[in-house]
């Protein structure tokens, strides 16, 4: 592996390779950019085929967290961790506590959380070794399930996209096709039905769809038919890479606004195609930032109402992005990158001014100098 070349490609600050033979730990922590604050990003556990594949994934994901935090207006940098292993067979207390000790060794430069393949219980094991962890249970002072906050952000982001397309943020009477009836998709459907939108929903798990139909009165759609629904809004809340050469020609939507990650299979090419087709696309890492906002609130002491209120601010952020896209004649995913990059550039200038921090041993004492 040419590690330094891979880091230099997107200017990563630090990569830490973690190994504990007794615990069976093989992990990589990547810190992309700490201009805005300590890096925060989840720890993903996945059976990567090669170490090179794991490295490329953690570098890509950590960079994405920098942009997500910057665009959301958070004072956090971008980081991520990957643990190489099968989450169904190789989890143990020892493994996650060993990982926690490596996180502790970074002294707050990286704050971890749950991600694909990890869960609240795993983060509680990590917490036994370090304070630099979020996404723990409410019983331990954490935030618990982030889905309601994520869904609240998607809902308000969708209203911004509807206003961009139709001149009004109202969703009343609008038809919305939701792909994915999991936690985020379900809560989003709940918000939409309360506003009297007409909701269509699909999922690979029939029981999830049945629950939404029975409890919310939405319309069930077969998973492979969701792209063909005649609706104003498409809300992908499940798989990534679902905006691609095969699905785009089937779209009858005017807006794409959902909570799934990595929605564009080819960011550059498919973002441009959406612009050419005059589809309003709410960039995924902006509209789904409620999850990051939720765990970020744990750092200063969690308050659910504060987190929900912050998630609502995704609405004006997306309004800014749509304005940049119009003014600079670029796809909205390019506009969101520019918004994030400009915030990073502006706040980086503050670091040129040195601030003297009082040493801990003399704080609160009076000296006549």
**Residue numbers annotated as active site:** 80
Do 114 and 81 form a contact (C-beta atoms < 8 A)? no
The DSSP annotation for 111-125 comes to EB-B-TT--HHHHHH
Copy the structure tokens of residue 56: 């490329």
Distance CA 8, CA 270 (A): 26
Do 77 and 35 form a contact (C-beta atoms < 8 A)? yes
Query: What number of residues does the chain have?
Result: 369
Strands 43-46 and 110-111: unpaired
- CB neighbours (10 Å) of residue 300? 8
Burial of 243 (0-12, 13-18, 19+ CB in 10 A): buried
Distance CA 105, CA 108 (A): 8
Copy the structure tokens of residue 278: 């005059």
Q: Which of 294, 242, 303 is closest to 270 using CA atoms?
A: 242
Copy the structure tokens of residue 5: 């070349």
* Phi and psi angles of residue 328, each rounded to the nearest 5 degrees, phi first: -100, 0
Nearby residues of 6 by Cβ (< 8 Å), 6 or more positions away: 12, 55, 56, 59
DSSP bridge partners of 219: 200
38 dihedral zone (left: phi>0; alpha: psi -120 to 50; beta)? beta
Do 181 and 161 form a contact (C-beta atoms < 8 A)? no
Q: How far apart are the first and last CA of the chain?
A: 55
Give the torsion sign (CA, 180, 185, 190, 195): negative
């Amino acid at each position: 592996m040419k590690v330094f070349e891979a880091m230099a490609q997107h200017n990563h600050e630090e990569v830490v390779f973690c190994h504990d033979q007794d615990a069976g730990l093989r992990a990589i922590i990547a810190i992309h950019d700490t201009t805005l604050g300590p890096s925060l990003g989840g720890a993903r556990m996945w059976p990567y085929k090669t170490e090179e594949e794991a490295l490329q994934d953690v570098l890509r994901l950590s960079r994405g967290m920098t942009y997500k935090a910057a665009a959301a207006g958070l004072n956090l940098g971008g980081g991520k961790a990957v643990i190489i292993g099968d989450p169904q067979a190789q989890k143990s207390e020892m493994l996650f506590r060993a990982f926690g000790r490596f996180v502790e060794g970074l002294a707050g430069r990286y704050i971890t959380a749950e991600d694909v393949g990890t869960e609240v219980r795993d983060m509680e094991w990590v917490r036994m070794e370090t304070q630099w962890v979020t996404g723990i249970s409410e019983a331990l002072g954490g935030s618990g399930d982030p889905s309601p906050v994520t869904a609240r952000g998607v809902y308000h982001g969708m209203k911004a996209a509807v206003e961009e397309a139709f001149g009004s943020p109202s969703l009343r009477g609008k038809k919305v096709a939701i792909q994915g009836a999991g936690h985020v998709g379900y809560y989003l459907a709940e918000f939409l039905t309360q506003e009297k939108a007409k909701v269509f929903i699909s999922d690979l798990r029939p029981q999830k769809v049945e629950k939404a139909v029975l409890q919310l009165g939405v319309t069930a759609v077969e998973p492979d038919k969701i792209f063909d629904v005649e609706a104003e809004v498409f809300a992908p809340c499940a798989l990534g890479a679902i905006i691609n050469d095969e699905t785009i020609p089937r779209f009858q939507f005017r807006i794409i606004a959902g909570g799934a990650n990595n929605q564009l299979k080819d960011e550059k090419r498919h973002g441009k195609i959406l612009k050419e087709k005059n589809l309003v696309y709410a960039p995924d890492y902006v509209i789904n930032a409620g999850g990051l906002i939720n765990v970020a609130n744990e750092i200063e002491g969690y308050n659910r109402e504060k987190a929900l209120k912050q998630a609502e601010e995704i609405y004006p952020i997306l309004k800014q992005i749509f304005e940049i896209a119009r003014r600079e004649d670029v796809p909205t995913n390019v506009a969101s990158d520019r918004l994030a990059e400009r915030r990073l550039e502006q706040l980086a200038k503050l670091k040129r001014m040195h601030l003297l921090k009082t040493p801990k041993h003399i704080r609160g004492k009076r000296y006549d100098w």
